[in-house]
Amino acid sequence: MAASSKTLIDLFQPAKRLKLSDPSKPLHSVSLSVSSSNSDVSSTLTAEQKSRIELNKFLAKSKRNIKICTEKVSQSKAEGSGYVKLEELLVEATWLEALPGELQKSYAKNLCKFVESEICGGNVPIYPPQHLIFNALNSTPFDRVKAVIIGQDPYHGPGQAMGLSFSVPEGVKIPSSLVNIFKELKQDLGCSIPSHGNLEKWAVQGVVLLNTVLTVRSHQANSHAKKGWEQFTDSVIRTISQKKKGVVFLLWGNSAQQKSRLIDETKHHTLKAAHPSGLSANKGFFGCRHFSRTNQLLEQVGVPPIDWQL
């Protein structure tokens, strides 16, 4: 009974205060001490560890943006529509701020109608999947942009396109252009050839992997060219040129090099070479050393280089 009474008494005792190691210290100094301790932990991390933490942080943000778009598409299918307006699929806030109202312009409204009719027509699959159409922007926040690699239109085979130029999901055969990119990377920086072609690690480090056209019909290259996408992606390139400084643009092939007219070369760097496709890689892509040169240019202005190793 005594033990039981003691328990009841204990229940009604005032809560015990936490003891400070030094009662004379005010609470805010304890808080500062904890903060200082965290700072000490941070200062003991190596540059490689800090870089990995930052990479994981932005990978998580990219996946969160993809998840938001995926949920929008799932909801539209549940409601019987199966289509999400383009303007609702660009969800990265930094780009919405950098491109205010771009997808409300008249050309973009016509583009939206065209893409909707293609997706809802249902006769031919459209790539990439809707939730990945703006993956290049949703994966690379505007304030993180360090470099831009410009492609043409998405891969048009099933399962290939993922909204990042030259990139394919893990498990998909690596296309010849990307094989050649990896060969040049090995020659240039000694990077080992990866077993997959997913370039999202580059994207989250600040490399905008931008196709000039963002959708395509299955097995029909350039089928969505000249429908309005070029105007949108030109605006993206122009905006980077106007609002950023010291960005490195990697322009491979004639189509990409035509975009140099949108770039202020007094503020930015353009690296030009042949396209990495099997037809032209031997005509000036191999040996261009664009990856090491990009890093050199970034380091000259105090910007952390790209870790190109996948």
| Helix (H) and strand (E) counts in the chain | 11, 6
Q: Which of 76, 202, 55 is nearest to 135 (CA)?
A: 202
- Choice among 10, 40, 143, 153 that is catalytic: 153
Answer yes or no: are the C-beta atoms of 141 and 60 closer than 8 Å: no
DSSP 245: S
Residue 290 carries which side chain, given as an amino acid letter? H
Q: Are 240 and 262 in contact (CB under 8 A)?
A: no
Is 239 strand, coil or helix? helix
Q: What share of the chain is helix, strand, coil (3-state, %, to 5)?
A: 50, 10, 40
**Beta pairing, strands 216-217 & 126-127:** antiparallel
Print the SS3 string covering 99-144: CCCHHHCHHHHHHHHHHHHHHHHCCCCEECCHHHCCHHHHHCCHHH
Active site (annotated) includes residue 153: yes
Cα 90 versus chain centre, distance = 12
Catalytic residues: 153
